Amino acid sequence: MLQKIKLRCSYNGDATASYHWGTLTHGALMEILPAEISEMLHENSLRPFSQYVLPREGNMLDWNIGVWDDEVAEAIIKAVLPLSGIELKHKGVKLEILGSEQSRISEKDFLSGFFTAGDPCRRYVLEFLTPSTHKSAGEYVIFPTPELIIQNLCMRLNTFSQDFSADDPETMAEIASNVKIKSYSLRSARFSLQGTYIPGYLGRITLSLYGPVQLVRLTGMILSFAEYAGVGIKTSLGMGGCRVTPVPGNRKNAGETDGD
């Protein structure tokens, strides 16, 4: 089951909310979860959830959580949804929870939305809402590539799906080779973590998908998983928040739609 939770929050005081608060909401979440769940998540290098903070006007923010493990999802829902407020330690800020939204979709329905539909979408917009980055050759990457995005999402998707596996380098390379960045509007951004700053990028890219229909379906499904998993590293700490929008009306060959 794939699930998304959004908590609409307000706060008092002179502090100004930012996406950096994602590290604080992560800490608060770990404290309110059952000890055995928190311990399991700390030991798991590929944590089955993502979360990030989006500031809003007027001392408001949205706390977004995506999760794709049923046990962890149940624990987060039971811990978070009944809350009326939550304290962000080390910041002296208490969030008042004004409301919540929750959506869920089964693995079967998620996959069938791509593999049993009509003509597949061949163009997607990925909007990076909080700083995203990747590690390559020991260095942080401040510009996305299809290869890095696909590799990252496949690794996470393999921990979710019982019916999907693309964890071998050749398969991921074949998928990525049929994805092209058609346009982008990005800027460099840094994310504060434990007294250091991690370089990354913010903004949006438009991706065109090439190749046979079944490959395009598979690629669209992988990209759409970013809504839940985020993109890049440290998505459980507030980085890599992503919104994915399919662009309808693509021609059969994505390369024929260059006239944006």
DSSP calls for 34-88:
-HHHHHHHHH-SS-SEEEEEEEETTTEEEEEEEE--HHHHHHHHHHHTT-SEEEE
Give 198 or 251, the one with higher predicted confidence.
Answer: 198
DSSP 174: H
Higher pLDDT, 139 or 258: 139
Domains of the chain: 2-105 (3.30.70.1890), 107-257 (3.30.70.1900)
The pLDDT > 90 percentage for the chain reads: 71
State pLDDT tens for residues 146-201: 999 999 999 888 877 666 666 678 888 899 999 999 999 999 999 999 889 999 99
The reported pLDDT for the residue numbered 260 is: 37
In sequence order, the 6+-apart residues with CB closer than 8 A to the CB of 87 are 28, 93, 94, 95
The pLDDT of residue 249 is 72
Alpha-carbon gap, residue 72 to 49, rounded angstroms? 8
| Interatomic CA distance for residues 105 and 220, integer angstroms | 16
Q: What is the pLDDT of residue 259?
A: 35
Say if CB 32 and CB 51 are below 8 A apart.
Answer: no
Instruction: Give the 3-state secondary structure of residue 111.
Output: helix
Taking alpha carbons only, the member of 186, 183, 164 closest to residue 175 is: 164
What confidence score (pLDDT) does residue 162 get?
64
Mean pLDDT over the full length of the chain: 90
